C-alpha cells in the first residue's frame, strides 16, 4: 500500500553511491542454492521459470524462449477489535507475467525481458479499517488493472555482472530476507520505514519506478548492488499516489532521483555445503528531493501554532541506512533449504523529515520440517516502527496549544504468525494472525464520537489462497 512521503546522512549517501558502482543479491554463482537470478514472481519472490504450478497454463512458445506465468492471490481479512472500525474485507490480485529469453528468440546473448501486470480488486483492511503503518496485506492496493514491472536484463560472464533497466521494483532485491517469504503483512517485504517515508512509497508494489540497477558478484560470497530510480514514480501531488498513477504507465524520469545501494556477504552458501548458511546485508538510500519538516511551518513556527503559515517547511534531501541478518539454524538432513531460519532487520532515517525514524523486525521461519509436508512453512515475526521525535514534538504542540487530551504518537508494533499449507503443487492456503499495537503510532481517531482519541490495538485474522497456474 503506497503512502504519501513524509538531512542527508553522509553514511547512507555513501553506501548508495558505492552501491551504484557494483551490486548484490542472491543472483549468485552457479554453485549457489537458489535460482534468484531468474525473473521473480512479485507475489512470492519465486522464479517464474521453474516454480511449481498447477500445470494449467499452456506455454506453446517456450521453445522460442517465451514463458508465460499467471498467479492469483485472494484473501479474507478482518479485524475483530481495535483500529478505526471493525469489519472484514476480501481483496484479490491476478498477476500475469511474461519472460522472454532473447538469446533463444533472436540470438542476443544473455539478454532477457520481463514484464507483468496486476488486476487488483476488493477493499483494503488497513486503508478502510486500521489506518496503520504495517499494512496487513502485501497485495492491498486500490482496485485497478495496472502495469507493474517491464524491464530488460543483460548479464556478463558466468553470472558475474547483471544490469537491469526499465520499470523496476526494489523490494525483491534491496532490504529483503528470504526467511520472511511466508508472511502476508506488507512490511515483511518492503518495510514500513521506506513505504511511509519515501515519495509514492518507493519502488515497490503496486508502483514500480523507471530506473536501472547494477549487480556485481565480486566473489562467491561477496556481492554489491546499486540502483538509480525515479524518485516519485506517481509524480507530485496530494492524495493517494496510486490515484496519480492508476495504470502504472506514467514512466516518469524527471523527478529528483532515488539512489539505493547494498553490500552483501554470504557464508556456507554453496550447494551441498554441510554447514549452515547465512548472510548479512548493509545498505542505504539517498533521495535528492524536498521533504516536509514534521513539525515546523514554512515561517519557522510549529504547524500547531495559530501563527503558522499552514504550509510545512521543506528540507532538502533525505537518506537512510539499513542492516539485514539471516541465518539458518537447522537443516533437514539430505536437503538444502528445508529447516529453520532466523532473520532480523534494522533501519534508521533523520527524524526532522521522516514520520518513521527507526524501524526493526525479526522472525523465525520453519520450512518443510516434515518429510510428508516438505513444502509447508510456518513463521512468527515481530515489527517495530518508531514515530520520529519531530512528529512527537508536533503532537506535544497540539496538546499544549489546542487540546490537552490530544494523543501522543509513539510507535506501532506488529506481532504475526502465518502457516502456509500446500494443498498441491501450485496451490497454497495461509491462515494468518496479526496483532497491531498503537495503529498509526497511536494516531488520532478522525471521526464520530471517538474523534480525538487514539486508535486501539487491533486483532486481525485472515486466510489467503494462492494459485499458480
Mean pLDDT of the chain: 89
Q: Which residue has the cell 534468484?
A: 36
Q: Map out the domains of the chain with their CATH numbers.
A: 10-468 (2.40.160.180)
Distance CA 436, CA 16 (A): 32
Decide if pLDDT at 129 tops 50: yes
Contact 250, 234 (CB under 8 A): yes
pLDDT band at 309 (very low <50, low <70, confident <90, very high): very high
Decide if pLDDT at 196 tops 70: yes
Distance CA 3, CA 240 (A): 7
Helices assigned H by DSSP within 164-249:
192-197, 241-244
pLDDT digits (tens, 9 = 90+) for 154-174: 999 887 999 999 999 999 999
The total of other beta-carbon atoms located within 10 Å of residue 232's CB is 28
Q: What is the three-state SS of 310-326?
A: CCEEEEEEEEEEEEEEE
**Which H or E run includes 307?**
none
DSSP of 135-187, one letter per residue? -S-TT---SEEEEEEEEEEEEETTTTEEEEEEEE-STTTSS--GGGTT--SGG
**Which H or E run includes 203?**
none
- 52 exposed, middle or buried (CB, 10 Å; 0-12, 13-18, 19+)? middle
Lowest model confidence (mean pLDDT) among 22-31, 71-80, 208-217, 230-239? 22-31
Of residues 4, 11, 8, the one with CA closest to residue 321: 11
Contact 431, 422 (CB under 8 A): no
Tell me the pTM: 0.88
Percentage above 90 pLDDT, the chain:
81
Mean pLDDT of 334-348: 94
Decide if pLDDT at 44 tops 80: no
For the chain, the first-to-last Cα distance in angstroms comes to 25
User: What are residue 288's DSSP bridge partners?
Assistant: none
Relative to beta strand 111-122, strand 144-156 is: antiparallel
Amino acid at each position: 500500500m503506497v503512502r504519501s512521503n513524509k538531512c542527508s546522512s553522509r553514511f547512507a549517501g555513501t553506501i548508495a553511491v558505492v552501491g551504484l558502482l557494483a551490486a548484490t543479491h542472491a543472483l549468485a554463482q552457479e554453485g549457489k542454492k537458489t535460482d534468484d537470478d531468474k525473473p521473480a514472481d512479485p507475489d512470492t519472490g519465486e522464479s517464474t521459470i521453474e516454480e511449481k504450478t498447477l500445470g494449467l497454463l499452456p506455454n506453446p512458445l517456450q521453445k522460442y524462449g517465451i514463458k508465460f506465468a499467471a498467479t492469483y492471490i485472494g484473501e479474507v481479512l478482518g479485524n475483530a477489535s481495535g483500529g478505526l472500525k471493525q469489519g472484514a474485507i476480501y481483496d484479490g490480485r491476478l498477476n500475469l507475467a511474461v519472460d522472454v529469453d532473447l538469446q533463444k528468440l533472436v540470438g542476443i546473448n544473455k539478454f532477457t525481458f520481463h514484464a507483468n501486470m496486476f488486476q487488483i480488486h476488493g477493499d483494503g483492511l488497513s486503508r478502510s479499517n486500521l489506518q496503520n503503518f504495517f499494512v496487513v496485506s502485501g497485495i492491498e492496493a486500490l482496485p485497478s488493472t495496472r502495469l507493474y514491472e517491464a524491464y530488460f536484463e543483460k548479464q556478463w560472464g558466468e553470472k558475474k555482472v547483471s544490469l537491469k533497466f526499465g520499470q523496476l521494483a526494489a523490494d525483491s532485491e534491496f532490504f529483503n530476507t528470504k526467511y520472511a517469504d511466508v508472511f502476508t503483512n506488507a512490511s515483511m517485504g518492503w518495510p514500513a520505514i521506506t513505504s511511509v517515508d519515501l515519495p509514492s512509497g518507493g519502488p515497490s508494489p503496486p508502483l514500480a519506478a523507471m530506473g536501472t540497477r547494477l549487480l556485481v558478484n565480486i566473489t562467491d560470497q561477496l556481492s554489491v548492488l546499486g540502483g538509480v530510480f525515479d524518485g516519485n514514480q506517481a509524480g507530485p501531488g496530494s492524495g493517494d499516489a496510486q490515484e496519480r498513477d492508476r495504470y502504472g504507465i506514467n514512466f516518469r524520469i524527471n523527478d529528483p532521483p532515488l539512489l539505493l545501494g547494498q553490500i552483501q556477504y554470504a557464508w556456507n552458501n554453496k550447494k551441498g555445503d554441510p554447514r549452515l548458511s547465512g548472510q548479512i546485508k548493509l545498505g542505504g538510500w539517498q533521495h535528492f528531493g524536498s521533504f516536509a519538516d514534521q513539525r515546523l511551518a514554512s515561517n519557522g513556527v510549529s504547524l500547531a501554532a495559530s501563527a503558522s503559515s499552514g504550509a510545512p517547511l521543506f528540507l532538502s534531501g533525505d537518506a537512510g541506512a539499513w542492516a539485514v541478518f539471516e541465518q539458518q539454524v537447522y537443516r533437514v538432513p539430505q536437503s538444502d533449504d528445508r529447516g529453520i531460519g532466523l532473520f532480523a532487520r534494522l533501519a534508521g532515517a533523520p527524524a526532522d523529515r521522516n514520520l518513521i525514524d527507526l524501524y526493526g523486525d525479526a522472525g523465525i521461519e520453519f520450512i518443510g520440517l516434515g518429510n510428508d509436508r516438505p513444502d509447508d512453512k510456518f513463521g512468527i515475526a515481530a515489527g517495530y516502527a518508531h514515530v520520529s521525535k519531530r512528529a512527537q514534538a508536533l503532537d506535544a504542540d497540539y496538546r499544549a496549544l489546542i487540546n490537552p487530551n490530544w494523543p501522543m504518537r509513539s510507535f506501532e508494533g506488529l506481532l504475526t504468525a502465518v502457516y502456509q499449507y500446500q494443498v498441491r503443487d501450485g496451490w497454497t492456503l495461509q491462515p494468518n494472525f496479526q496483532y497491531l499495537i498503537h495503529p498509526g503510532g497511536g494516531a488520532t481517531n478522525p471521526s464520530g464520537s471517538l474523534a480525538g482519541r487514539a486508535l486501539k490495538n487491533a486483532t486481525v485474522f485472515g486466510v489467503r489462497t494462492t494459485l499458480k497456474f
